[in-house]
Structure 1
Amino acid sequence: MSVDLSALGWDDGFAEAFGRFAVLGQRPARVSRVDRGVCTALAAGGPVRASVAGGLLARAAQDPGALPCAGDWLVVRDWPDGRLTAEAVLPRRTAIVRATAGEESFGQVLAANIDAVAVVEPIDPSPDPGRIERLLALAWESGAKPHLVLTKADLAADPEAIAAQMPGRASGVTVHAVSARTGLGLDGLHPLVARGRTLGLLGASGAGKSSLVNALAGAPVMQTRALRADGRGRHTTTYRALIPMPDGGAVLDTPGVRLVGMFDTVTGLDRAFADVTLLAQACRFDDCRHGDEPECAVRAAVEEGELSPRRYASWQKLQKEQKLAAVRRVRRESRERRRPARG
């Protein structure tokens, strides 16, 4: 089965990056999923499975973010004995990165080389603004264009009214109210999965990501499961997967995320909270912490009803997480510099 790589986003830029690897026995392929160090990827000749080469593993020992992930373009090497290895990852144009758990503060790449990120949140029983803001910060930081997709819109009496109240609009985020069951609002998403484009999905379990993929594909390509009796979502996707669309383009589905830690998301937070960032510029002190400092424009906006206490608290919480992650990263890098070189 041949694969049209250009439909998956291969272009002159990636071809140029691949140029220095273009030797006999090496070819490009796009990662569709990774399982325990083995990459399933789409090459021109069809799907392949390649183990991660030793050189790439050595780089990943210093930076786990160097490991291949869904959406990456790989340099795959064919060996005479039939083995295939992933020798290198071509430079990523965009990447959704979250902080790993623990004190080391490494970044875990959830998806790479996406053109748009859809933060997926169910309308029913009710959207969680705090979760939306957290995921939009990661989406903005990725370098891709963020969208907010409110699923299960057929269960709401007035989905557009709910959409109008969602965070993100002030930052230029397009909000889509959709229903995978009825097809409502899906026309607005089809341009995001046009030929050569990749849409990444980011959301909690039960948000309807797999159902959304099936609706966009026009066929059941992802397994779906009913909600639990308490209305909470069940995990369906347990791995990150790149799914080609019938007419070109691709969707990159991610597992439902319970915890998404902030990792190097300064720009993303500024974009996700553009209204608060603008207010902060009017504070008396440049280093205002927006607590008890005099003439704090952010706190004044809360007191005057211009900024909701909930959004203010959400912004402060994510700012603290980001600063803590930055401190942990600096400490880790300092320890690594002091570590004696092996020789």
Structure 2
Amino acid sequence: MTQTTLTDLGWSDHFARQLTQDDADLTPARINEVQRDRLRALSENGPLRLIPTENAGNYAVGDWVLCDATHALRRLDAQGVLTRKAAGHVAYTQRIAANVDTLGIVTSCNADFNIARLERYLALAATAGCLPLVILTKPDLCDDPQSYVKQAQALSPMLTAIAINARDPQDVARLTPWVNKGQTLALLGSSGVGKTTLSNTLTGESEATQEIREDDAKGRHTTTYRSLTPTLTGGWLIDTPGMRELQLADMDEGIAEVFDDLTELATQCKFRNCEHASEPGCAVQAAIARGDLDPDRLTRWQKLQAEDAHNSASIARQRARQKTFTKMVKSGKAQGTHKRNPKG
């Protein structure tokens, strides 16, 4: 049996540089599953079950930690993290996956295909510093799958779009460049687009799949938790539950990168605070008038900017309140200690 090395697991100089002399007796391990109060991890010595030394929610699948036999003692700084605002009305950032080389944005050649949603995922990838890859599934169920490929490819010169039959191993083998030895591919997308089928083919596993609803091309969740799984080609796959909601927060730079054409145009407007509506000298509206810019793209850009600003501000306020509360608790404990141990 061949032993798995740190390099096989995705270890790089980025993590090695974080080690100190005090870490000589600790074992590097990569998190492959986050449970309520335990972490599952992979190391050169095999799989580990670890007790986290901080809230388990602070870890993400793909993180590297330094551990002893039972505890994850230190989480190493990640080389990029996929995050989102947690679903619902709560105001905090949720770590989805860490140390991802390529974000596989999975959508299907049917009603699930949505340009606005793809732009959200592209902003997520840009913020995390990973390569975007749009994987279009179920090409056999539409008349012209290449039309979907062209629409996706037009969103960014940095993007690769590929139509794949997830049930055909030879077709799925076209993804090998993104799951070679030591590389990590994360799959994100809506329920029912074929992520589990694609994952099964890439890893050789056989998780159950569920049919989609015919009326809206959506399906039920098959994957119920995130996990890091080895692929047949020596890389790693992070599969995630289908996302009904992907709200952006702290992603202004990622949004600017995805909409770099609009970002550049905005610098040419007459007024710095131009809202690109009816102001004189607006370069963005001039581009729309010339037919060089789709007005719907402007609307999507402004919507993502507004959402990101709102969510970022809400999270910042929540962090400030939490910090104030923590200080009050610490102050109360200190006063209690002083009363129990008065001088004199």
- In structure 1, the partner of 2:340 is none
CA distance in 2, matches of 1:317, 1:129: 13
CA distance in 1, matches of 2:286, 2:59: 46
Percent of pairs identical after alignment?
37
The reply to whether residue 77 of structure 1 matches residue 62 of structure 2 is no
Distance 1:21 1:178, change over 3 A: farther
CA deviation map 1:206-262 (0-9, x unaligned):
121111122223x23433222235332220111111111133110111111111111
> Retained in 2: the 8 A contact 1:96–1:138?
yes
Q: Does 1:153 align with 2:139?
A: yes
Does the 8 Å contact 1:3/1:42 carry over to 2?
Answer: no
Q: 1:259 aligns with which of 224, 230, 245?
A: 245
Aligned residues: 327
TM-score w.r.t. length of structure 2: 0.87
Query: Of residues 82, 101, 104 in structure 2, which corresponds to 1:96?
Result: 82
Give 1:35's aligned amino acid.
Answer: Q
Q: Could you list the runs of 5+ residues in structure 1 that have no partner in the other structure?
A: 79-83
Q: Is the 8 A contact 2:92 2:318 kept in 1?
A: no
Residues 274, 282 of structure 2: 8 Å contact kept: yes
Task: Give me the whole-angstrom Cα distance separating, in 1, the residues matched to 2:301 and 2:32.
Answer: 34
Equivalent AA in structure 1 for residue 142 of structure 2 = A
SS at match of 2:280: coil
User: In structure 2, how many angstroms separate the alpha carbons of the residues matched to 1:239 and 1:156?
Assistant: 30
1:81 aligns with none
Provide the C-alpha distance between the structure 2 equivalents of 1:184 and 1:153, rounded to a whole number of angstroms.
Answer: 15
Partner of 2:33: 33
Displacement, 1:183? 4.7
Q: 1:189 — aligned with what?
A: 175
State the match for 2:149 in structure 1.
163
1:26-83 superposed Cα distances (whole Å, 9 cap, x missing partner): 3111111111121111122211111212xx23xx8xxx6xx111000112221xxxxx
- Aligned pair in 2 of structure 1 residues 171, 99: CA closer, same or farther (>3 Å)? farther
Query: Which segment is superposed worse, 168-177 or 333-342?
Result: 333-342
Shift of 1:20: 4.7
Is the CA contact (8 Å cut-off) linking 2:103 and 2:188 kept in structure 1?
yes
Conserved? CA contact 2:153–2:161, under 8 Å: no
State the match for 1:215 in structure 2: 201
Runs of 5+ unmatched residues, structure 2: 335-344
Q: Quick check: 2:92–2:315 contact (8 Å CA) kept in 1?
A: yes
Q: 1:292 & 1:102 partners in 2: Cα distance? A: 35
SS of the residue aligned with 1:324? helix
- Maintained 8 Å contact 2:193/2:218: no
TM-score normalised by the chain length of structure 1: 0.87
Which residue of structure 2 aligns with residue 45 of structure 1?
45
- Of residues 226-235 and 239-248 in structure 1, the stretch that sits farther from structure 2 once superposed is 226-235
Contact 2:105 2:134 in 1 (8 A): yes
| CA offsets 1:300-332 (integer angstroms, 9 cap, x no match) | 333443222332221111110111123223333
CA drift of 1:103 comes to: 6.2
Deviates more, 1:271-280 or 1:190-199: 271-280
* Contact 1:104/1:328 (<8 A) preserved: no
Structure 1 residues 200 and 167: alpha-carbon distance in aligned structure 2, compared to 1, 3 A threshold: same
Equivalent residue number for residue 224 of structure 1: 209
Shift, 1:132, TM fit: 0.7
Indicate the residue corresponding to 2:158 in structure 1. Answer: 172
Deviates more, 1:313-322 or 1:280-289: 280-289
Matches within 5 A, 1:1-343: 2-20=3-21, 22-24=23-25, 26-53=26-53, 56-57=54-55, 67-78=58-69, 84-101=70-87, 105-166=91-152, 169-183=155-169, 185-217=171-203, 219-230=204-215, 231-336=217-322, 338-339=324-325, 340-341=327-328, 342=330, 343=334
SS in 2 for 1:139: helix
More off after superposition, 290-299 vs 267-276 = 290-299
Residue pair 1:133, 1:167 contacting (<8 A) in 2 also? no
Question: Are the counterparts in 1 of residues 14 and 79 from structure 2 also a CA contact under 8 Å?
Answer: no
Name the CA shift for 1:192/1:308 in 2 (closer, same or farther; >3 Å).
same
CA contact (8 A) 1:171 1:272 kept: no
CA distance in structure 2 between the aligned counterparts of 1:111 and 1:205, rounded to whole angstroms: 18
State which drifts further: 163-172 or 317-326: 163-172
Relative contact order, CA 8 A, sep 6+: which one is greater? Answer: 1
Take 2:14 and 2:178, find their aligned partners in 1: how far apart are those partners? 20
Cα distance, 1:17 vs structure 2? 2.1
Q: Give the distance between the partners of 2:230 and 2:20, measured in 1 at CA.
A: 25
